[in-house]
Structure 1
Amino acid sequence: MENLTLKICFHNVGDYSQNCKSIIANTVQYILYIYKEQLCMYSIDMIWCEYIWLDHDNNYRSKTRILNSENGVFNIDNVPIWNYDGSSTQQAHGEDSEIYIKPVHMVRDPFRRDRDSWLVLCDTWLPNDNPHPDNTRFVAMKIFSQKQVVEAKPWFGLEQEFFIRKSTKGYPLGMDAKLYQKSQQETIQGQYYCGVGKGNCHGRVLMDEAVVNMVDSGLSINGLNFEVAPGQAEFQIMNEGIVAADELHLARYILIRTAEKLDLSIDMHPKPFKLNLNGSGCHTNYSTKYMRQDGGFTVIKEAIQKLEKTHAEHIAIYGKYNEMRLSGKWETADINTFSSGVADRGASIRIPRFTDRDKKGYLEDRRPSSNMDPYLVTAKIAETTIL
């Protein structure tokens, strides 16, 4: 920019003397210096916070607040409580519409890289300081804050599956009307799983950009891959306790925002198409420190027995429309029947071969749907297996 400005100035100088050119160059440099100084003066202490919360239907809402940093130290404790119009999110009446949002987790904002900017995940509270009925994080914290759970150090690896659509009601990427009709009669999936190349992979630009954004924000992303059905993909995220649920929400938000930029839509319905296609889940890999240490296989088997006894309780909170997905077909178990097995992707609980071989490790709960509430799911698993 500076070189271009100087070039323009010299071009207009014509045959002026070298001394005159030098004066003009110095003047331009001084103007640029003042501009930069003014820019710094107005922006150095400004922190951009994108407050993020869930509405009544578990859709993400967000708005920006620009704060002044007084001491240069900024963390979750410095972010003020804010509020929003709950009557516009189906969470309050117009005559008493304010819902408070309290910051609970923050990461770098990958969408405003030229600013000191943060994504701030919040939970929702009523003005009387009671949690809003939609605040499931408050429910989960009751479990994760218990001494037995804290000492068990529960890890959750969450595999978020979804479809990428050209519009909110359009076909998934890689599918047209002809392929849609064909898939009503026969299976047209398989070639897309971890596919490479034109015709086999759809949405790589989105996935690469979204995961780069997640990593750059500081989230604990483990990877990504394309799934069995056309236009279907997943990313994986892992962390301990309630942080895993917090980070999944932030990762979902980043994915949706990245898709928005590319004029694409993310569909997390567990079975959005009545076709011969896999649905979308959020397989939940789980372990405690007792499962991960020598002799842990006994603890894993005990946990599976506990999960079997509470199967109906888990299914009740494992996601809306999950009955459409858990059909006993398309790599799922029947919703009404609990099962487990080594390397069995048609079971409720899969025991990885490495876990079976090493006699320690983790289990995979394949029942949660793609639209599941991570607070409810992770807390329920911890409650069932630890408490």
Structure 2
Amino acid sequence: MEVQSALALWVWGCNIFSGVYNSSLTPSHLPWNTYNYCNAPHVNAERYSRPTDPDAHLVYLNSMMRHHKRTPDNLYPNERELNPASGWDWECGSQAYLDYVDGTAPVFPQSSVPDGHPFASAVWNGSCGAGQLTREGLEDAVQHGKDFWSVYHSTLGFLDEVVEEDIYIRTSNEPRTHHVAGGFLYGTDPGTWAARWRLHTQPALIDSLVPSYSCPVANAIRSAYQLAPEWTEHLLRNQDLQTRLGETLGVKGLQAWMSWYDHFFDTLTSRTCHGHPLPCNASGACVLEEDAMRVFALGDWEYNYIWNAAENASEYTRLTFGVMFKELADNLKRFQAGKETYKLRLYIGHDGSMIRLASGLGLGANTPLRWPAMGSEVHIEVWRDVSGFDFVRVMHDGIPVQSLDWIPFSRFVELLEEQVPADIYGSCMYGGI
């Protein structure tokens, strides 16, 4: 654990890439809203600030958040040798991940590797599957629900009960988003364990929350600007790091790993956030602490470049998240027309969901965007003043967004609709021709 403690302190001293990568708990000597990749800061009663208009009241809420801590989504070719002997077991083995049809026997899947399996080297020891919500991730989701309820129920009196008539929840098709939804709901009211709750999803082929719908034009845009000098020079400047990691982790020459730092970021942060040591191979070569820090900083740079700073990044975001922006705009227009039946629409997605939402809302206009942390959130609050006019205030990871702190409702709807191409299907498939 000595390495992990040093990790957070060293990273904290790094210019704009400061933050915590080794614990869900932010050290008390740091500001409460310090970037914490393992568990993002979020709204809570102690820190929440109301709008400056004392007579306004909250009338509608749309929220989006990333799931909480999980096991790595990407595995090394020789994953088993790069983990401690215990592997990933404690994080998942003590809880049941239920998965059954109502009215039948309650069943739950649990991962295991039989002794002598000829391909066992490709996975770790233990009962965790790849990308699975861990026990600590579930605990963070429960606390997130408690803190959310402390604001929107206890402080503002906006939500009265935890009931489906008031709260619509949409997730992706990944089980970890379903499990986070359950933990979040339990945090708002432990009585929800006895209720059945509908999680709205879209078919994986067209899911706009991930997003996963096909968009060849967007793919071409991204491919083009990842051939630009700014990107290729970034890879060349860090060739020493890439080579060292590739050799240590057995991924040298694999395009998925060598083309960017996404996979390295995922596998290293998943370990440090759960208190696991940085990986060492059979020869004794280990990922160095300073190399992990470079990966974290490079991951931030790449996410900001791809979705915010590169030429045509805004168009890439519009194409790949335009369907989701349309849904958010439609929600608000439905509310304005008096046809909305929910007080809250909550979306539980992924880092790709959150980075696109942040980019489209302009959160990266003045400050580079960071890789969305676990549990990162955006709340779109609709407030009504005494004259009956509606205003929107956006909260990001616990604090109001300065540029979106109090803007007319109609203007915010326009902002969302500006992120939706007129013919998004045609634009995705044929470039609007």
Same fold (TM over 0.5): no
State the TM-score, normalizing by the size of structure 1: 0.29
Greater Rg over alpha carbons, structure: 1
State the TM-score, normalizing by the size of structure 2: 0.26
Higher strand share: 1
